[in-house]
Structures are given as structure tokens and as C-alpha cells.
Amino acid sequence: MKLTSLIRLLSLYLCFIQMVIQVSGQNCNITIQISVIDQNTVQALPLAVLHIAETSQNYIANESGNFVVHSLCRGEYHLQLSHLGYEDLEQTLYIRSDTLLFISLIYQSTVLNQITVEVSSNDHDERVSNTISRNEIAQESNKNFADILENIPGVQTIRNGSGISKPTIHGLSGNRLSIMNNGLPQSGQQWGNDHAPEIDAFVADNIIVVRGASSLAYPGAQSGAIILVEPRKITSEKKILGSFNFITQSNGSGQTLNTALEQRGKFLGWRASATIKLIGDRKTPDYYLTNTGQHEGSASIHFEKNLSDSWRSTMYYSYFQTELGLLRGSQIGNISDLEEAFGRPEPFNTSENFSFQIAEPKQRVKHHLLKITSKYYLTPTASLHFNYGIQLNDREEYDIRRGDRSSSPALSMTQWSHFSEAIFKKFRDENNSFSAGLQYWYIDNANQPETGILPLIPDYYSYQGSAYAIFQRSKQKAEYDIGLRYDVKDLFVWSISESLPREIRKVNHLFENYSLSGGINYTPSEAIKISTNIILAKRSPEVNEMYSFGLHQGVSGIEEGDPNLTEEKSAKLTTSFDIKVGPKLTFQILGYYHRFIDFIYLEPQEELRLTIRGAFPVFQYKQTNAEIMGSDLSLTYLPHPKFRLTLISSWLRGKNISRNLPLVFMPSSRIQGHIRYLFRNTEALVDNHLTISCRYVARQSHLREGQDFYPVPADYFLLGFSASTTMTVHGNKLQITLSGENILNKKYRDYLNRLRYFADEQGMNLILRVGMNFN
């Protein structure tokens, strides 16, 4: 390792500096006693931490999990309970006299494979440990949807410039990674990696990564993972509640505004939300990234109705519209200029002036989603669920064209998607559960004739029917689960011949896919949990992998599919260890091995092709036998109730076994840390904390010379911070957060950004967020 790389890595650990604390209190005559237990094991949780906002005091539970707080005054108190490895809990109490409370906390692991099941008397919904909370989403909602997921171990982001990003989990992305938007498979994601999910993060109560047998309940490629974007339930309050969020950022002069209102009315509950985002040209440390603006607008409305004690229904509609600029310097007119553009210190066509204007090349997308859900409880432990959803995705891409034709789209596609399912869930007791479902998914994808250019992806429609069953059982110290899934897909494609004269051929593909998953979680003691899972899956090739032919403008490259691709077969073994080293330290380590037969991948070719639209590199979809292996580490240390240190790292290697070559476009190894310090509260300000964040990303050094158009970029180290406080304004909570990204203004390029060939990444960015919940 180079000396500079070692210094950067050591700098990460030097971020962890201890701070001085202060404690204060007040005297009255009321005493409260609180007993804290694990919700699943019902065992006491010693060394849990209690923070009382009004007194600015922290308390630590004794060996029996008990707090005793003396000398409190009569009145309202806001309690915050936390324990290493458990979900934080906030509780508001009005205390009139001596009080005894029993509170349970939910265990929460942070490694990608860990799954916990939380059962309530009403909803028996599965919860996964890898969850981005509502507050975390609100703090980062100026970012793209995929960027918010990067704090989960094993999750990284594939980018195509500043405004387009998609998540990758354990090296797999795109068609292998299904995104469920409020229970519906997000449409428009079958076209390639330059199409970001059209999702407003503000509508999500949480974002969850699902793995293991539970993932088989959702359509999509089971060889990757499932990402759930879930809106929260509507309030039970009769009065109107609302929220307001405003975020402004220095890089791109971005402004993000969101507001929402909700109420549990006499006849039904409702929520309405709207978001507007305006961002201009981003800036590297040295120059503007010309034409990288982002203009977004979205709105949603949500209704809930209890038709009877056992029958509940909801309706949800959302609209999302975005216009994204593509880096002007990535569109090159001839091959010699393209060769010069690779790795150029400053891209061609870079303007010295900032602008909000978005010109060609650019993308325009409109996305409609409507979902109707009905849930009927046969018994308190058995329920039927019926879901139907329809989506319309309208995509236009504009290129720099001769004459006056730049205003006409070079690509124009409309996709209708219909999805329906019926689910049965049964909980025999707290140790046994069963769920099964039938699903039907229809997609109609059509190109509009206004472009005058051969479409990148031909017209097609597909029918997919699916069935699945999942069993879960707990016995003593072990938990078992097994899942089965069967999919049959009928794909009809109107393929246009590559040679002249052009011919249209209707091609039919029939695919049958099977998936099987089984896992065991074993807990030999309170301090150790061992989990292992294996999944066997088949994945059918998507339309873009078989029939892409032409310029994929978002990635500034020509992509060519192969209609003879066959199903991809895979087996993945995952094992994790969840260990508590005393009351203050916990860590989780996960290892995985993924073997593929007929792995489908996009390979850079040596050819640089000149077309009437410019010169571009060429990529082809191919198949090979491959393997991907790696590990994730997550560590949390709590040296003091006000001081929390977290560290996560990911290591991954991918190999083309058939050709004895490394796989391209695999994520680099990384390590990142966060230090959070909670300051004492005052009469005016509560929940005051400061977080320092560090990230080191290694160079993707295992690739061989000639596997890419340009050598992979160097490693890099980034430093950031976040400071937050909350105050009360006329009875409403107002939260103010100031944060900074890349505050050292580091110049770097990221291997997973397809536009790294042409430009650096963004420089320093300061973000101010003001959020208020009001009633």
C-alpha cells in the first residue's frame, strides 16, 4: 500500500477523539422507575441509556435493566432510550406522581444478511434489520434515492454523472436488484443503469433491504436483493398534522422543498405530500460540470379506510417528474477528440459560469403510480392481502442533433405496467409462521415514432406469473426459514434488424425460473449470534441485455445486446457472526460467496465507434461463468452515553472464471466511520449532536491492463460533518441541521461512475436543512 494511502486510512481512525461531557439536573419530589427488556427474549438489558430531554440528564440501567430517577417535577417529559445493538425508542410521558414503567426494545443488527421478525397483534409485517429511518431519509433527501442507501454495509452506488444513480448490493445491480415502491416493482428499471429510480425519498417512512427467504415474496431477480420503499401509516390523530422541510446546498445552488399534511378523519385517513427540487450545475474543486442540473417535482396522496374491524383498505397515488442534464463534455464529435477526452484534466465544452439551465443532452421522465390494497383478517393470526397497482413511465432523451432537431427526442418510450397479487399469511404461534402468494405482472413497452432514430430497445410486452411460499420456525436457540418461488415469463419482442433493408421480426421467449432459499439463525448465548443462508436462483435475461442496439446516451456509450442469451443460474452462500464484546462494543461480520453459470455482464470493447451522433465507446452484453466473493464489517463502540463510534467496511472481488479475468464494474473496497457526540440540552435547544464522518475508497487494483478504456482512478479519502439541534416554536418541533460533504474539497474520480472517463467528482458541498413538524 502506498504511503499516502496508508496515511489516509490512518486518518479515518484519528477521527475518533473523545470529548468532555457535562451533567446537570433539577430537584423535585416525584420518582419514576423504568425496567428495560429485550422484546424477543424478555431478558433485562443492563447498561441501557436513558436521556431525559427536559432535565438534560443521562442515566444508565443497572444489572437488572432498571433505572430509578428521583426528584422529578410534575409535567411532560420526553424520554430517549438506547442500547447498543437495539433500535432507539422515544417516549413522551406526563408524570403526575410516582410511576413504574416497563419498556421493551427491539434488537437491530446492521449487517446486510440479518433479518428480524417483529409480530404485533394487528399487522404481522416482517421487518429487516437494514433499515434507513424516516429521520435519516429527511436529513439526506436532497440526494438521489440510491445515494441515501450508502450507509448500509455492502451497498454502494453506480452513477452516471451527478443526477443519475442506482444502488448496487454485493456487486449486483440493475436487473438483479428489485426496487419495490410501496409494494410494486418499480417500472422503467429494465432499460439499463442510466435510469435512476423515479422515487421521492420524502414519501418513505423507511427504506429496507431484504435478503434471505423473505426476499422470495417479491418479484424481481432473487440473485441480488430487494429494496422496499414503504410509506408510513396515517396518523390516528383527529386533527390535521403536517411537516415542512427545506434543504439548501452550496454545490449546484440546490433547493429542495417538501411539505405534507395528514389527518385521521371521521370516514377515512388521508395524507398529501409534495416535493420540489432545483439544482444547477455541480462543481468539482476546479471547474463546473456543465449541464448537470436537476429539476424535479413530485406529489402523492394516500387514503386509508377501515371498512370493518377485520377489513382494511388503502389507496395510494404518486406522480414524479424529473429533467436531468447530462455532462456536455461527455458528448464527443470524433474519435481523436474522444481519445483525448479520456482522463482529460478538464472536460471539453466546460463553461466558466454556473447555470440552472438544462440543455441537450438531457433526459425527461414522468412516472405515475396507483396502488389499491385490501387486507382482510380471517382470524387474529391469519390474513388475506389483495394488491393491485398500475404504473406509467414516460421517458424522453434528447441529444445534440443537426439542424433544428435537438428539440425532438432521440429516444421516446412509454411503458405501462400492471401488477396484482393475492397473499395468505398465518402465524400459528410466536414460533411458527407461513405465507404464500400468487402474482401476475404485465408490461407493455412501446417506442414513440417521433424520434426518427432506430430505438435503443425494441417494442415488447411480457406476461409473468409467479407463486411463492415461505416457512419460518423458531425452536429454542435456533430460527429456521425456507422459501420457494416459481416464475414463468412469456416475452414478445418486435426486433428490428441491424442490416439493410430493415426488417421487423416478432420474437417470442419463454422462461421458467425457480428460486430456493434456506437459512438458520443460531444464538448459543446472549453475546453471539450465527446466521447462514443459501439461495439457488435462475434469472431470465432482460430486454436491454438481449436487444439493446445503439447509443445509450445516459452513459455516453453504444450498447449491444445478444438475443441468444440464456438464463443465468446462481448459488449464493452467506454466513454472518453477530458478537457483543461487553456492554459497550458490538460488531457484525458477514462473508459471502456467489457462483454463477452463464453470468450476464456488460464488457467494454476495444472499439471506439464514430456515428452521425458523435464518437462513443462500445459495450457488449456477454455471458460467462463467474464468482463474486466478499465481506462486510460493521462495528459500534459506545465509550460513554453521549459518545458513539461506528465503523463499516466492505471488501469484494469478482472473477470471470471462463476467461480467468477479473470482472469489470465491481465495487472497490471501502471503509467509513462516524463519530457522534450528544451535547447537553438547554432550555431552548434539545437533541444537540455533532457527527464527524470519514470515508476511504481503495483503488480498484485487481483489474488487468486493457480491460477498460482508461486506467482506473486512484484511491481517495473524504471527510464530512453534520451538526443538528431541535427547538420548540409555538409548540412545534423545529430541527436545524448543517452538514458538509467532501469538506477538504478533494479532487477525485470514482470507479463506479461511468462518466469518470471525462470528469472529476463533485467538490465541497455545504447543506442546511430546516424541518418542522406542526399541528
Location of C-alpha cell 417506442: 447
Say whether 146 sits in a helix, a strand or coil. Answer: helix
Q: What is the mean pLDDT of residues 294-319?
A: 92
End residue of a domain, out of 77, 105, 133: 105
Q: Residue 774: pLDDT above 90?
A: no
Whether residue 39 is found in the same domain as residue 140: no
Number of domains in the chain: 2
Whether residue 95 is found in the same domain as residue 172: no
Please report which confidence band the pLDDT of residue 41 belongs to, taking 50, 70 and 90 as the band edges: low
> Residue 430: its pLDDT value, please?
58
Please report which confidence band the pLDDT of residue 145 belongs to, taking 50, 70 and 90 as the band edges: confident
Q: What is the pTM of this model?
A: 0.82
How deeply is 162 buried, as exposed, middle or buried, from its count of CB atoms within 10 A (0-12, 13-18, 19+)? buried
Whether residue 346 is found in the same domain as residue 320: yes
Q: Residue 404: pLDDT above 80?
A: no
Whether residue 122 is found in the same domain as residue 227: yes
Q: Residue 554: pLDDT above 80?
A: no
Who contacts 712 (Cβ-Cβ below 8 Å, separation ≥6)?
699, 700, 701, 703, 751
Supply 343's cell numbers. Answer: 482522463
The residue among 582 and 632 whose pLDDT is bigger is 632
Please indicate, yes or no, if residue 671 is contained in any of the structural domains.
Answer: yes
Supply 102's cell numbers. Answer: 416497563
Please indicate, yes or no, if residue 10 is contained in any of the structural domains.
Answer: no
Please indicate, yes or no, if residue 313 is contained in any of the structural domains.
Answer: yes
Who contacts 315 (Cβ-Cβ below 8 Å, separation ≥6)?
302, 303, 370, 371, 372, 373
Please indicate, yes or no, if residue 713 is contained in any of the structural domains.
Answer: yes
Tell me the chain's radius of gyration from C-alpha atoms.
Answer: 26
Q: What is the mean pLDDT of residues 346-361?
A: 94
Who contacts 92 (Cβ-Cβ below 8 Å, separation ≥6)?
76, 77, 78, 79
> Residue 160: its pLDDT value, please?
79
Q: Residue 15: pLDDT above 70?
A: no
Q: Residue 736: pLDDT above 60?
A: yes
Supply 440's cell numbers. Answer: 401476475
Q: Residue 325: pLDDT above 60?
A: yes
How deeply is 476 buried, as exposed, middle or buried, from its count of CB atoms within 10 A (0-12, 13-18, 19+)? exposed
Q: Which residues pair with 50 in a beta bridge?
A: 59, 81
Whether residue 95 is found in the same domain as residue 120: no
- Asked whether the bond before 711 is cis by omega within 30 degrees of 0, the reply is no
For β-strands 225-230 and 177-181, DSSP reports them as parallel
Supply 64's cell numbers. Answer: 437488572
Out of 45-59, 113-127, 397-411, 709-723, least confident range: 113-127
From CA 124, how far away is CA 127, in angstroms rounded?
9
Listing DSSP states for 326-387 in one string gives: --GGG-BSSHHHHHHHTT-SS-TT--SS------SSEEEEEEEEEEEEEEEEEETTEEEEEE
Q: Which CA distances in Å does 484 have to 222, 435, 469, 596?
A: 11, 11, 5, 19
- Asked whether the bond before 524 is cis by omega within 30 degrees of 0, the reply is no
Q: Highest mean pLDDT: which of 80-89, 122-131, 358-367, 609-618?
A: 358-367
Whether residue 276 is found in the same domain as residue 414: yes
Distance of CA 553 to the CA centre of its chain: 24
Taking alpha carbons only, the member of 20, 12, 32, 85 closest to residue 526 is: 85
> Residue 196: its pLDDT value, please?
77
Who contacts 644 (Cβ-Cβ below 8 Å, separation ≥6)?
636, 637, 638, 675, 676, 677, 678
> Residue 40: its pLDDT value, please?
63
Q: Which CA distances in Å does 67 have to 24, 38, 42, 543, 583?
A: 17, 15, 17, 60, 16
Please indicate, yes or no, if residue 407 is contained in any of the structural domains.
Answer: yes
Contact (CB, 8 A) for 278 and 324 = no
Whether residue 687 is found in the same domain as residue 758: yes
Taking alpha carbons only, the member of 68, 70, 90, 87 closest to residue 79 is: 90
Identity of the amino acid at 297: G
Q: Residue 226: pLDDT above 70?
A: yes
Distance of CA 418 to the CA centre of its chain: 24
From CA 448, how far away is CA 503, in angstroms rounded?
18
Out of 107-111, 642-646, 699-703, 714-718, least confident range: 107-111
Whether residue 81 is found in the same domain as residue 115: no
Q: Residue 265: pLDDT above 70?
A: yes
Please indicate, yes or no, if residue 16 is contained in any of the structural domains.
Answer: no
> Residue 50: its pLDDT value, please?
86
Taking alpha carbons only, the member of 610, 599, 616 closest to residue 664 is: 599
Whether residue 276 is found in the same domain as residue 370: yes
Q: What is the mean pLDDT of residues 406-426?
A: 91
Taking alpha carbons only, the member of 566, 554, 547 closest to residue 498 is: 547
From CA 258, how far away is CA 309, in angstroms rounded?
34
How many helices and strands in the chain, by DSSP H and E?
4, 42
Out of 5-19, 617-631, 655-669, least confident range: 5-19
End residue of a domain, out of 56, 78, 105: 105
Whether residue 101 is found in the same domain as residue 155: no
Whether residue 222 is found in the same domain as residue 253: yes
Say whether 545 sits in a helix, a strand or coil. Answer: helix
CATH number, residue 86: 2.60.40.10
From CA 61, how far away is CA 69, in angstroms rounded?
11
From CA 578, how far away is CA 528, in angstroms rounded?
6
Q: Residue 637: pLDDT above 80?
A: yes
From CA 490, how far away is CA 442, in angstroms rounded?
10
Q: Which CA distances in Å does 140 have to 72, 135, 321, 638?
A: 37, 9, 19, 25
Mean pLDDT, the chain, whole residue set: 85
Who contacts 42 (Cβ-Cβ below 8 Å, separation ≥6)?
104
Who contacts 411 (Cβ-Cβ below 8 Å, separation ≥6)?
395, 396, 397, 447, 451, 453, 455, 456, 553
Q: Residue 74: pLDDT above 80?
A: no
Please indicate, yes or no, if residue 15 is contained in any of the structural domains.
Answer: no
Say whether 608 sits in a helix, a strand or coil. Answer: strand
Listing DSSP states for 744-772 in one string gives: T------TTBGGGGT-PPP--EEEEEEEE
Please indicate, yes or no, if residue 9 is contained in any of the structural domains.
Answer: no
From CA 597, how far away is CA 568, in angstroms rounded?
6
Q: Residue 268: pLDDT above 60?
A: yes
CATH number, residue 182: 2.40.170.20
Q: Residue 104: pLDDT above 90?
A: no
Taking alpha carbons only, the member of 672, 726, 544 closest to residue 152 is: 672
Q: Residue 119: pLDDT above 90?
A: no
Whether residue 290 is found in the same domain as residue 222: yes
> What is the domain extent for residue 66?
25-105
End residue of a domain, out of 105, 128, 151: 105
Listing DSSP states for 648-699 in one string gives: EEEEEEEEETTTTEEPSSPPPPEEEEEEEEEPPP-SSEEEEEEEEEEEEE--
